[in-house]
Amino acid sequence: MSEVLRRILARPSGAFALLVVVTICTLALLAPVLNLQPPGKINIAHRFEAPSWAHWLGTDHLGRDLLSRLIHGSTVAMGVALSAIALALTLGTLLGIIAAESPNRWERPILIVFDVIASFPSLVLALAFIAVLGPGMWNVALIIAITMIPHFGRVARAQVLTVREQPYIEAERILGASRSRIALMHILPNIMGPLVILASMDIPVVIAIEAGLSFIGLGVRPPLASWGTLIYDGFANINQSTIPVIVSCVALAGATLGFTLLGEALRDAIDPRRRSAR
Protein backbone atom coordinates (compact mmCIF):
# COMPACT_ATOMS: atom_id res chain seq x y z
CA MET A 1 0.00 0.00 0.00
CA SER A 2 2.81 2.43 0.88
CA GLU A 3 4.55 1.61 -2.40
CA VAL A 4 1.40 2.38 -4.39
CA LEU A 5 1.00 5.68 -2.51
CA ARG A 6 4.63 6.57 -3.25
CA ARG A 7 4.10 5.93 -6.97
CA ILE A 8 0.97 8.11 -6.97
CA LEU A 9 2.75 10.97 -5.21
CA ALA A 10 5.70 10.70 -7.61
CA ARG A 11 3.47 12.08 -10.39
CA PRO A 12 2.47 15.78 -10.17
CA SER A 13 -1.05 14.96 -11.39
CA GLY A 14 -1.31 12.13 -8.85
CA ALA A 15 -0.18 14.37 -5.97
CA PHE A 16 -2.65 17.07 -7.03
CA ALA A 17 -5.47 14.54 -7.35
CA LEU A 18 -4.74 13.02 -3.95
CA LEU A 19 -4.75 16.48 -2.35
CA VAL A 20 -8.12 17.32 -3.93
CA VAL A 21 -9.70 13.99 -3.01
CA VAL A 22 -8.43 14.04 0.58
CA THR A 23 -9.66 17.62 1.01
CA ILE A 24 -13.14 16.82 -0.33
CA CYS A 25 -13.47 13.63 1.72
CA THR A 26 -12.27 15.40 4.89
CA LEU A 27 -14.73 18.26 4.44
CA ALA A 28 -17.55 15.84 3.67
CA LEU A 29 -16.77 13.81 6.78
CA LEU A 30 -16.36 16.79 9.12
CA ALA A 31 -19.21 18.94 7.74
CA PRO A 32 -21.63 18.06 10.60
CA VAL A 33 -19.11 19.06 13.28
CA LEU A 34 -17.50 22.10 11.65
CA ASN A 35 -18.46 25.50 13.04
CA LEU A 36 -20.47 26.48 9.96
CA GLN A 37 -23.68 28.37 9.53
CA PRO A 38 -26.69 26.12 8.97
CA PRO A 39 -26.84 25.42 5.21
CA GLY A 40 -30.59 25.98 5.10
CA LYS A 41 -30.67 29.19 7.17
CA ILE A 42 -32.50 31.87 5.16
CA ASN A 43 -31.67 35.56 5.56
CA ILE A 44 -33.34 37.58 2.81
CA ALA A 45 -31.78 40.82 4.06
CA HIS A 46 -28.31 39.49 3.12
CA ARG A 47 -29.08 37.86 -0.25
CA PHE A 48 -26.38 37.92 -2.95
CA GLU A 49 -23.74 39.29 -0.61
CA ALA A 50 -20.18 39.34 -1.87
CA PRO A 51 -17.52 37.27 -0.09
CA SER A 52 -16.71 38.65 3.36
CA TRP A 53 -15.46 37.54 6.78
CA ALA A 54 -19.02 36.63 7.71
CA HIS A 55 -19.63 34.70 4.47
CA TRP A 56 -16.36 33.59 2.89
CA LEU A 57 -17.96 32.72 -0.46
CA GLY A 58 -20.92 35.07 -0.22
CA THR A 59 -24.61 34.18 -0.06
CA ASP A 60 -27.23 32.92 -2.52
CA HIS A 61 -30.64 34.27 -3.56
CA LEU A 62 -32.13 33.39 -0.16
CA GLY A 63 -29.24 34.73 1.89
CA ARG A 64 -27.89 31.24 2.68
CA ASP A 65 -24.16 30.88 3.27
CA LEU A 66 -22.56 29.44 0.10
CA LEU A 67 -19.53 27.95 1.86
CA SER A 68 -21.74 26.01 4.27
CA ARG A 69 -23.97 24.77 1.44
CA LEU A 70 -20.95 23.82 -0.65
CA ILE A 71 -19.36 21.78 2.14
CA HIS A 72 -22.63 20.07 3.05
CA GLY A 73 -23.11 19.43 -0.67
CA SER A 74 -19.82 17.53 -0.66
CA THR A 75 -21.29 15.27 2.02
CA VAL A 76 -24.25 14.49 -0.24
CA ALA A 77 -22.03 13.98 -3.30
CA MET A 78 -19.62 11.63 -1.52
CA GLY A 79 -22.42 9.80 0.28
CA VAL A 80 -24.22 9.05 -2.99
CA ALA A 81 -21.02 8.26 -4.92
CA LEU A 82 -19.44 5.94 -2.34
CA SER A 83 -22.72 4.18 -1.54
CA ALA A 84 -23.56 3.60 -5.20
CA ILE A 85 -20.04 2.43 -6.11
CA ALA A 86 -19.81 0.12 -3.07
CA LEU A 87 -23.17 -1.50 -3.85
CA ALA A 88 -22.46 -1.83 -7.58
CA LEU A 89 -18.97 -3.21 -6.92
CA THR A 90 -20.24 -5.78 -4.41
CA LEU A 91 -23.20 -7.04 -6.44
CA GLY A 92 -21.40 -6.82 -9.77
CA THR A 93 -18.41 -8.78 -8.50
CA LEU A 94 -20.63 -11.42 -6.91
CA LEU A 95 -22.72 -11.86 -10.06
CA GLY A 96 -19.60 -11.87 -12.23
CA ILE A 97 -18.04 -14.67 -10.18
CA ILE A 98 -21.30 -16.65 -10.22
CA ALA A 99 -21.59 -16.23 -14.00
CA ALA A 100 -18.02 -17.41 -14.57
CA GLU A 101 -18.17 -20.36 -12.17
CA SER A 102 -21.72 -21.57 -12.83
CA PRO A 103 -23.05 -23.88 -15.56
CA ASN A 104 -24.35 -22.27 -18.75
CA ARG A 105 -28.00 -22.39 -17.58
CA TRP A 106 -27.12 -19.92 -14.80
CA GLU A 107 -24.55 -17.92 -16.72
CA ARG A 108 -26.83 -17.00 -19.63
CA PRO A 109 -29.64 -15.38 -17.55
CA ILE A 110 -27.09 -13.26 -15.66
CA LEU A 111 -25.48 -12.07 -18.89
CA ILE A 112 -28.89 -11.34 -20.40
CA VAL A 113 -29.78 -9.17 -17.39
CA PHE A 114 -26.44 -7.38 -17.80
CA ASP A 115 -27.20 -6.78 -21.50
CA VAL A 116 -30.69 -5.46 -20.78
CA ILE A 117 -29.48 -2.98 -18.16
CA ALA A 118 -26.44 -1.92 -20.21
CA SER A 119 -28.56 -1.36 -23.32
CA PHE A 120 -30.08 1.76 -21.75
CA PRO A 121 -28.03 4.94 -21.22
CA SER A 122 -27.37 5.35 -17.49
CA LEU A 123 -29.15 8.69 -17.22
CA VAL A 124 -32.23 7.49 -19.12
CA LEU A 125 -32.49 4.37 -16.96
CA ALA A 126 -32.03 6.47 -13.82
CA LEU A 127 -34.88 8.76 -14.89
CA ALA A 128 -37.13 5.74 -15.44
CA PHE A 129 -36.38 4.33 -11.99
CA ILE A 130 -36.85 7.71 -10.31
CA ALA A 131 -40.30 7.95 -11.91
CA VAL A 132 -41.17 4.76 -10.02
CA LEU A 133 -39.26 5.16 -6.73
CA GLY A 134 -39.32 8.93 -6.45
CA PRO A 135 -36.42 11.33 -5.83
CA GLY A 136 -34.24 11.28 -2.74
CA MET A 137 -30.61 10.82 -1.74
CA TRP A 138 -30.68 7.07 -1.10
CA ASN A 139 -33.01 6.36 -4.00
CA VAL A 140 -30.52 8.10 -6.30
CA ALA A 141 -27.65 6.04 -4.88
CA LEU A 142 -29.62 2.81 -5.36
CA ILE A 143 -30.66 3.69 -8.91
CA ILE A 144 -27.13 4.63 -9.98
CA ALA A 145 -25.79 1.42 -8.42
CA ILE A 146 -28.26 -0.68 -10.43
CA THR A 147 -27.19 0.99 -13.69
CA MET A 148 -23.50 0.27 -12.94
CA ILE A 149 -23.77 -3.37 -11.83
CA PRO A 150 -23.21 -4.77 -15.38
CA HIS A 151 -20.11 -2.59 -15.68
CA PHE A 152 -18.45 -4.33 -12.73
CA GLY A 153 -20.04 -7.72 -13.40
CA ARG A 154 -18.58 -8.11 -16.87
CA VAL A 155 -15.10 -7.07 -15.74
CA ALA A 156 -15.28 -9.47 -12.78
CA ARG A 157 -16.40 -12.33 -15.03
CA ALA A 158 -13.58 -11.70 -17.51
CA GLN A 159 -11.02 -11.58 -14.71
CA VAL A 160 -12.32 -14.83 -13.19
CA LEU A 161 -12.11 -16.62 -16.55
CA THR A 162 -8.46 -15.57 -16.76
CA VAL A 163 -7.43 -16.28 -13.16
CA ARG A 164 -9.08 -19.69 -12.83
CA GLU A 165 -6.77 -21.11 -15.54
CA GLN A 166 -3.67 -20.34 -13.50
CA PRO A 167 -1.58 -23.31 -12.22
CA TYR A 168 -2.10 -22.50 -8.53
CA ILE A 169 -5.88 -22.69 -8.98
CA GLU A 170 -5.52 -26.12 -10.63
CA ALA A 171 -3.31 -27.20 -7.73
CA GLU A 172 -6.03 -26.20 -5.27
CA ARG A 173 -8.58 -28.25 -7.19
CA ILE A 174 -6.29 -31.29 -7.14
CA LEU A 175 -5.85 -30.90 -3.38
CA GLY A 176 -9.62 -31.08 -2.99
CA ALA A 177 -10.48 -27.45 -2.23
CA SER A 178 -14.16 -26.62 -2.72
CA ARG A 179 -15.27 -24.21 -5.43
CA SER A 180 -16.47 -21.69 -2.83
CA ARG A 181 -13.11 -21.77 -1.04
CA ILE A 182 -11.23 -21.29 -4.31
CA ALA A 183 -13.51 -18.39 -5.28
CA LEU A 184 -13.24 -16.59 -1.92
CA MET A 185 -9.64 -17.33 -0.94
CA HIS A 186 -7.84 -17.30 -4.30
CA ILE A 187 -9.90 -15.87 -7.15
CA LEU A 188 -11.49 -12.88 -5.37
CA PRO A 189 -8.23 -11.40 -3.99
CA ASN A 190 -6.60 -11.69 -7.42
CA ILE A 191 -9.36 -9.92 -9.34
CA MET A 192 -9.93 -7.01 -6.96
CA GLY A 193 -7.08 -4.85 -8.31
CA PRO A 194 -8.70 -4.01 -11.68
CA LEU A 195 -12.12 -3.68 -10.03
CA VAL A 196 -10.86 -1.18 -7.44
CA ILE A 197 -9.24 0.88 -10.20
CA LEU A 198 -12.50 0.78 -12.15
CA ALA A 199 -14.44 1.86 -9.06
CA SER A 200 -12.12 4.82 -8.44
CA MET A 201 -12.56 6.00 -12.04
CA ASP A 202 -16.36 5.65 -11.83
CA ILE A 203 -16.72 7.87 -8.75
CA PRO A 204 -16.61 11.14 -10.78
CA VAL A 205 -19.22 9.67 -13.14
CA VAL A 206 -21.57 9.06 -10.21
CA ILE A 207 -20.94 12.55 -8.81
CA ALA A 208 -21.82 14.07 -12.20
CA ILE A 209 -24.99 11.94 -12.56
CA GLU A 210 -26.17 12.88 -9.06
CA ALA A 211 -25.53 16.57 -9.76
CA GLY A 212 -27.37 16.30 -13.07
CA LEU A 213 -30.40 14.65 -11.50
CA SER A 214 -30.46 17.24 -8.70
CA PHE A 215 -30.11 20.03 -11.28
CA ILE A 216 -33.35 18.99 -12.99
CA GLY A 217 -35.12 18.45 -9.65
CA LEU A 218 -35.11 14.63 -9.66
CA GLY A 219 -32.21 14.02 -7.30
CA VAL A 220 -31.58 15.23 -3.77
CA ARG A 221 -34.48 17.28 -2.49
CA PRO A 222 -34.42 20.36 -0.23
CA PRO A 223 -33.55 21.06 2.52
CA LEU A 224 -30.44 18.97 1.69
CA ALA A 225 -27.76 20.94 -0.13
CA SER A 226 -26.47 19.39 -3.37
CA TRP A 227 -24.01 20.71 -5.91
CA GLY A 228 -26.64 20.14 -8.57
CA THR A 229 -29.23 22.28 -6.80
CA LEU A 230 -26.57 24.94 -6.12
CA ILE A 231 -25.82 25.09 -9.85
CA TYR A 232 -29.52 25.28 -10.70
CA ASP A 233 -30.14 28.11 -8.20
CA GLY A 234 -27.08 29.93 -9.54
CA PHE A 235 -28.22 29.68 -13.16
CA ALA A 236 -31.76 30.74 -12.25
CA ASN A 237 -30.40 33.94 -10.69
CA ILE A 238 -27.28 34.49 -12.80
CA ASN A 239 -28.47 37.95 -13.89
CA GLN A 240 -28.25 39.13 -10.27
CA SER A 241 -25.01 37.43 -9.20
CA THR A 242 -22.51 35.13 -10.89
CA ILE A 243 -20.76 34.05 -7.69
CA PRO A 244 -23.11 31.13 -6.74
CA VAL A 245 -22.92 29.44 -10.14
CA ILE A 246 -19.14 29.96 -10.41
CA VAL A 247 -18.51 28.55 -6.94
CA SER A 248 -20.71 25.48 -7.43
CA CYS A 249 -19.40 24.74 -10.95
CA VAL A 250 -15.77 25.02 -9.80
CA ALA A 251 -16.49 22.63 -6.91
CA LEU A 252 -18.10 20.05 -9.22
CA ALA A 253 -15.38 20.39 -11.86
CA GLY A 254 -12.62 20.15 -9.25
CA ALA A 255 -14.12 17.02 -7.68
CA THR A 256 -14.59 15.21 -10.99
CA LEU A 257 -11.09 16.20 -12.17
CA GLY A 258 -9.50 15.12 -8.88
CA PHE A 259 -11.13 11.69 -8.82
CA THR A 260 -10.44 11.14 -12.53
CA LEU A 261 -6.75 11.95 -12.17
CA LEU A 262 -6.52 9.82 -9.03
CA GLY A 263 -8.07 6.86 -10.85
CA GLU A 264 -5.56 7.21 -13.68
CA ALA A 265 -2.65 7.53 -11.24
CA LEU A 266 -3.85 4.48 -9.30
CA ARG A 267 -4.16 2.49 -12.52
CA ASP A 268 -0.63 3.41 -13.57
CA ALA A 269 0.72 2.65 -10.08
CA ILE A 270 -0.83 -0.82 -9.90
CA ASP A 271 -0.58 -2.02 -13.51
CA PRO A 272 2.99 -3.32 -14.09
CA ARG A 273 2.62 -3.07 -17.87
CA ARG A 274 1.98 0.68 -17.65
CA ARG A 275 4.87 1.15 -15.23
CA SER A 276 7.27 -0.63 -17.60
CA ALA A 277 5.96 1.41 -20.55
CA ARG A 278 6.60 4.64 -18.66
What does each of the 278 residues of the chain score in pLDDT, given as a tens digit? 678 888 888 888 889 999 999 999 999 999 888 878 889 888 888 898 888 888 899 899 899 999 999 999 999 999 999 999 999 999 999 999 988 888 777 888 999 999 998 888 877 888 888 888 888 888 889 989 999 999 999 999 999 988 887 887 878 778 777 777 887 788 888 888 889 889 988 999 999 999 988 998 888 887 788 999 999 999 999 999 899 999 999 999 999 999 999 988 888 887 655 554 45
Give dist(CA 261, CA 191) in Å, integer.
22
- Model pLDDT, residue 256: 93
How many domains, the chain?
Answer: 1
Residue of 245, 144, 269 whose CA lies nearest to 204: 144
Cα separation of the two ends of the chain: 20
Nearest 5°: the CA angle 212, 27, 127 is 15
- Model pLDDT, residue 183: 79
Helix (H, G, I), strand (E, B) or coil at 65: strand
CATH number at residue 185: 1.10.3720.10
Q: What is the domain range of residue 248?
A: 2-277
Helix (H, G, I), strand (E, B) or coil at 59: strand
- Model pLDDT, residue 230: 92
Residue 62: how many CB atoms within 10 A of its CB?
A: 15
Summarize pLDDT for 189-218 with one digit per residue, the tens.
888 888 988 998 899 999 999 998 899 888
Give dist(CA 245, CA 224) in Å, integer.
18
Question: For residue 173, how many C-alpha atoms fall within 13 Å in the half-sphere facing its CB?
Answer: 10
- Model pLDDT, residue 76: 92
- Model pLDDT, residue 101: 83
The answer to whether the beta carbons of residues 160 and 101 sit under 8 Å apart is yes
Summarize pLDDT for 166-190 with one digit per residue, the tens.
887 878 778 777 777 887 788 888 8
